Structure formats: C-alpha cells, structure tokens
Amino acid sequence: MNADALRAPDLPAWPQYGDEERVGLIRALEQGQWWRIGGSEVDSFEQEFGAFHGTDHALAVTSGTHALELGLEVLGVKPGDEVIVPAFTFFASSLAAQRLGAVPVLVDVDPDTYCIDPSAVEAAIGPRTRAIMPVHMAGQIADMDALEKLAADAGVPLLQDAAHAHGARWQGKRVGELGSVAAFSFQNGKLMTAGEGGALLFPEAELREEAFVRHSCGRPATDRKYFHRSGGSNYRIGEFAGSVLRAQLGRLDEQVSVREERWALLHDLLAGIPGVVPQGRDTRCDRNPHYMAMFRLPGIAEERRNQIVDELLARNVPAFVGFRALYRTDGFWAGRTPEGASVDSIARACPDADAISVDCLWLHHRTLLGSAEDMHAVAEVVAHVVRRARA
C-alpha cells in the first residue's frame, strides 16, 4: 500500500450494547418506579458491582466526579484540609477536593506507570493532610503496598480514584478488597457506561450508610417524615441507568480478558518503534482492564505531539492527547491551592508529570477490542506517523 494512504481498519465501536441493555431498559420502564427509591435496578446493580469487586458495600451515584466528592466527604475532608493528588490525572481528581473547600496538594508521578509516586506522597504528608488520592492510571493500579503503609503510618485514609480500574486487581485482590474507599465513573467513554454515572465501594457498612444518606439530601432510605439526618446533596442515579449498568457489568470481564491479550501485543509492537515508549506495568497489578493504551514520545514538543494525534485520527486511529498537568489549567487555580504555590513551583516539584503531560498520548480502549491483526495495523500507522513527525 502507498504509505500515505495508510489507514487503520475500522475498530469496534464504543459503547457496546445488545439485548441485555434493551431488556433491562424495558424492565426499568415497566417497573413503574423510575427513581432508585422503591425501584430495584440500582439496588441490584450495587450488589452486583460490589460483589464483582469483592465488597458488599457499593453505592451508585450520578458521576465519577460526584463519587470522589462524596468519598472525600464521608472520609471527613473539610474546608482547609489537604488532599494529596497526582499532578497528572483527569481534572475531577483535584476538583472534588476543591469543591469541598479542601486544598489539593499535587505530587509527581512515576515516569513509567504514570501513577502517583509514593516517595512524593511521603514528602507531601503534613499536619493538615486529610486524605491521599491515588489514581489507577489507565487501569494500572498505583503502588498500593507503599501507599497503604504511608497512609497507615500517617493515620490518613486513601481514596482510590478507580475511574479507569473497573475489574482491576492488585496481587490477586480486587479493588473492593484493598481496604479503602474507591470511586468509579460510568461516563460514556469509561470501561462500562450508562452515558453518565459513578459508584463508590466501601470497606464497611457504616461508611456506605453515611454516603447513602448524604447522596440523598441527608435522608435515610426509610425516612418518610423529612427527618434529614445530615447535609449532602442529590447524587442519586436513576433506574434506567441502573438497568443499563447491570448489563454492562455482564460484559466487563470478557472485555478485560480481550484487552489484556491485545495490549500485550500492542505494547510490544509500540515498544519496537523508535522514539515510542509505551506505559509500563507494575506486575503486582495482575489484572489490568486497560482503560487507555498510553504511550510517550519522550523529548517531543507539545505542538508536534498534538499534530501526531490529529494525523492518527485522520488515519482512523482513535487517538487523544494525554491529560494536561493539573497546575497548567486555569480551572485548578480557580479553586483553593497550596499557599505560595505557582505553576513554576509545582512544575519544578513534578518534573515527570510535567514531561508526561507534554509527550503522552493514548488510544481509546475500543482499539484493544479489535483483532490481533488490527493491533499490527494500528502499530504500523503509529510507526509511520511518528517516523514522519520525527524526521
């Protein structure tokens, strides 16, 4: 083929759905209760999603961002408290802390896994630290052994941002078995979806009950007399979303297996391209659901990286630029930030997050639902585009 006509084949579409979703939606419709109070779809989904992740205590909410906010709230984060967050993540991680009036303290990430660096966390822990938020970047679980130890020594809880980690495992343990609160997203692009939605997993019933009350305007499920027990807001998800999520959960495990197999191949093909360094794996993460197929082009200029993404899109590869380091967004500075901090001071303290945010790109996880042949075709396009851009 003429190299300039080089295109990737059509990859599987996302989201995926079938009769399970159709039947679920009709079931919810005909149930006659479209909100979760009195309905059974969200209740059932919570049980199923919790069981899948090894806990009895799950709560579905309106979004992953709300899951993080509510998680921090029930862990006792108050205005002025500090929450340690990686500098390279989606904006919701720090936004959730700022919505509560708390101060996100940004720390560096590992240049290979792009997950929060435990030694940077250790250095950032201080008297006002109230929570530590590891993000399981693209499905790679952060170093939970080191983080659990740091958290226990400091007497501070962990809140796992598991928005990329549906079905992930760390040394055989599922996310709900790791002993800390975890927050998930079901936004359209995530590994299972109802368009929007989120969930929290808790290690114990009391925290889940507290979160339930807060997610329903401070009202326990059985209240009929408007005895609002606490503050909170309305983060309730509806029955239609609950029914779709039940069907989506049924697809997850097999899709994870396919993506694991395809990433093993695509990783090696990408690693063989000069100038391309795929995301590394901490093998203690023994099941990685691969929310993104990420790789770096070390040393590339940001503009050039962005052109490569455009070129990949034009050649049918679903590519995106990596997250912008949080401190390089206006939104971050609109909330509470550490006293005296500036873009430059955080950038100096987070050199790896700063570099990754410039040189990283990712392919949508639907890429990894393609065939083995598709992985070869995608890698060929990446090699061609990167070679031309680097020339």
Give me the least distance between CB of 372 and ligand PLP, in Å please.
28
- The catalytic residue positions are 90, 161, 164, 187, 190, 219, 226, 236
Q: Scanning the structure block, which residue is given the tokens 């509470």?
A: 336
Which residues 189-218 are close enough to bind ligand PLP by CB under 6 A?
Answer: 198
Cβ–Cβ under 8 Å, residues 382 and 316: no
Which residues 10-69 are close enough to bind ligand PLP by CB under 6 A?
Answer: 63-65
Give me the least distance between CB of 359 and ligand PLP, in Å please.
19
Gap between the Cα atoms of 65 and 298, Å rounded: 31
- Identify residue 267 by its one-letter amino acid code: H
Q: Between residues 135 and 266, which has the closer beta carbon with respect to ligand PLP?
A: 135
Instruction: Tell me which residue has its CB nearest to ligand PLP.
Output: 64
- What is the contact mask toward ligand PLP in residues 156 to 175, using x (rule: CB under 6 A)? -----x-xx-----------
Please select the residue that binds ligand PLP; options are 25, 135, 309, 319, rule is CB under 6 A.
135
Q: How many residues contact ligand PLP, by CB under 6 A?
A: 14
Give me the least distance between CB of 269 and ligand PLP, in Å please.
25
Q: Between residues 320 and 333, which has the closer beta carbon with respect to ligand PLP?
A: 320
Label residues 289-312 b or e (16+ Cβ within 10 Å = b).
Answer: bbbbbbbbbeebeeeebeebbebb
Gap between the Cα atoms of 124 and 130, Å rounded: 12
Please select the residue that binds ligand PLP; options are 16, 44, 187, 316, rule is CB under 6 A.
187
Gap between the Cα atoms of 327 and 88, Å rounded: 9
Structure-block tokens of residue 82: 């500090």
Count CB-CB contacts under 10 A for residue 359. 21
Give me the least distance between CB of 231 and ligand PLP, in Å please.
21
CA count, 13 A, side-chain hemisphere, 147 = 28
Q: Between residues 135 and 361, which has the closer beta carbon with respect to ligand PLP?
A: 135
Give me the least distance between CB of 85 and ligand PLP, in Å please.
10
- Identify residue 221 by its one-letter amino acid code: A
Residue 366 is given by DSSP the state G
Gap between the Cα atoms of 130 and 53, Å rounded: 26
Give me the least distance between CB of 138 and ligand PLP, in Å please.
9
Residue 216, beta-bridge partner list: 234
Residue 134's alpha-carbon distances to 48, 87, 120, 123, 181, in angstroms, are: 25, 11, 12, 15, 11
Which residues 238-257 are close enough to bind ligand PLP by CB under 6 A?
Answer: none
Cβ–Cβ under 8 Å, residues 195 and 189: no
Q: Between residues 187 and 306, which has the closer beta carbon with respect to ligand PLP?
A: 187
- What is the contact mask toward ligand PLP in residues 80 to 109, using x (rule: CB under 6 A)? ---------xx-xx----------------
Q: Are strands 292-296 and 277-278 parallel, antiparallel or unpaired?
A: antiparallel
Q: Between residues 92 and 369, which has the closer beta carbon with respect to ligand PLP?
A: 92
Give me the least distance between CB of 385 and ligand PLP, in Å please.
25
Closest CA to 185 of 96, 109, 255, 264: 96
Q: Between residues 64 and 167, which has the closer beta carbon with respect to ligand PLP?
A: 64
Q: Between residues 64 and 242, which has the closer beta carbon with respect to ligand PLP?
A: 64
Give contact residues for ligand PLP (rule: CB under 6 A). Answer: 63-65, 89-90, 92-93, 135, 161, 163-164, 185, 187, 198
